[in-house]
Amino acid sequence: MDDRIGVIGAGSWGTTLAKVAADNERDVLLWTRRSELARAINTDHENQDYLPGTRLPDRITATDDLESLAANSRLILLVVPSHGLRKVAHDLGQHVTGEHIIVHATKGIEQGSHLRMTEVLREETCVKRLGVLSGPNLAKELAQCQPTGTLIASRYHEVFERCHAVFNNAYFRVYWGEDVVGAEVGGAFKNIVALAAGVVTGLGLGENTKALLLTRGLSEMARFGTAMGAQILTFGGMAGMGDLIATCASPLSRNHQVGARLAKGEKLEAIQQDMRMVAEGVKTTFAVHQFATEHQLDLPIVRGVYALLYEGASVPDVLRDLMALPTGEELAQLGR
């Protein structure tokens, strides 16, 4: 097993993280299930399907061979959509050992089980040293080397040390934390709020409305997260507030795009068929709403987005219902 880095998932985010590692003079194996995409990346040094216009360093080698990637990479970064992570983790589990480190950068919660991604990885692999990468990280901006930062959360300091050495550089600052639950919840939950932020943008509403949404969205994130066992302070950091601001403010966010198009009257099914990449917030909304219902958590924004996505509610009706909710002490329920 050599010092190459394995990145599983050649979407825009996986490709960008592979580029960051390669910019740091690391050799990277970038896995895609499509052999034709692997050949194109190796020939053109560009991922024209998911990150067009960005030249990829020669240190990146694309492959469709999962076994070879595991055999040649001690540190593996898993960057696949949440609904497909279990299958990929199961396949990867046939090839990894206790010597491996796996860090995922997937921002979602598994439907049905309500499991976080590290919990899925524990079920499907023998790897103990697990972590999560989460923060205000829009792939296109990071691929252009625009300055930002991220959080590596793990119970194992070795995971952070390894990731810091691979990814930290002049334009990408890598921080460490131990609250894996909070980092995973923050990364997943912010996509729900981003859908709502897209609706606000699509309706042409202003900064007051956006600020109200983000503030109350952060409150709901903390309420949901602490119910799952997270530390409340995590939501004031990179994986909470940082990611929430970036995703809700930027039209580069796929979830923001979905919300904006819903506000203009487009149907969800048509929007999803038109998008090449996955908007995680759609599936996350279903999982979080189900969990909140089962555990009697009051999450009005989640409830409104769920009604919009799954119950055929109209945007004006959802907005009216949210603004008609009774008010009270602002922080009374935070973290309960």
- Residues contacting residue 160 through CB under 8 Å, at least 6 positions apart: 131, 152, 154, 174, 176
In 3-state terms, what secondary structure has residue 138?
coil
> Residue 114 gets which letter from DSSP?
-
- Asked if residue 151 lies in contact with residue 133, where contact means CB atoms within 8 angstroms, the answer is yes
- Asked if residue 233 lies in contact with residue 240, where contact means CB atoms within 8 angstroms, the answer is no
In 154-305, where do the E strands start and end?
172-177
- Residues contacting residue 26 through CB under 8 Å, at least 6 positions apart: 3, 4, 5, 59, 166
Q: Considering only the C-alpha atoms of the chain, give the largest distance between any 2 of them, rounded to a whole number of Å.
A: 60
How far apart, in whole angstroms, are the C-alpha atoms of residue 282 and residue 208?
A: 25
Which secondary structure element, helix H or strand E, spans residue 39, and what is its range? Answer: helix 35-44
Count of alpha carbons within 13 angstroms of residue 274, beta-carbon side: 10
Distances (CA, A) of 52 to 11, 44, 46, 143, 302: 11, 11, 7, 11, 34
- To the nearest 10 degrees (0 to 180), the angle between helices 280-294 and 82-93 is 90
- State the CB neighbour count (10 A cutoff) for residue 16: 26
Q: How far apart are the first and last CA of the chain?
A: 46
Q: Would you please indicate which residues are annotated as catalytic (active-site) residues?
A: 190
How far apart, in whole angstroms, are the C-alpha atoms of residue 7 and residue 5?
A: 7
How far apart, in whole angstroms, are the C-alpha atoms of residue 26 and residue 12?
A: 19
φ and ψ at 28, to 5 degrees?
-125, 135
Which secondary structure element, helix H or strand E, spans residue 33, and what is its range? Answer: none
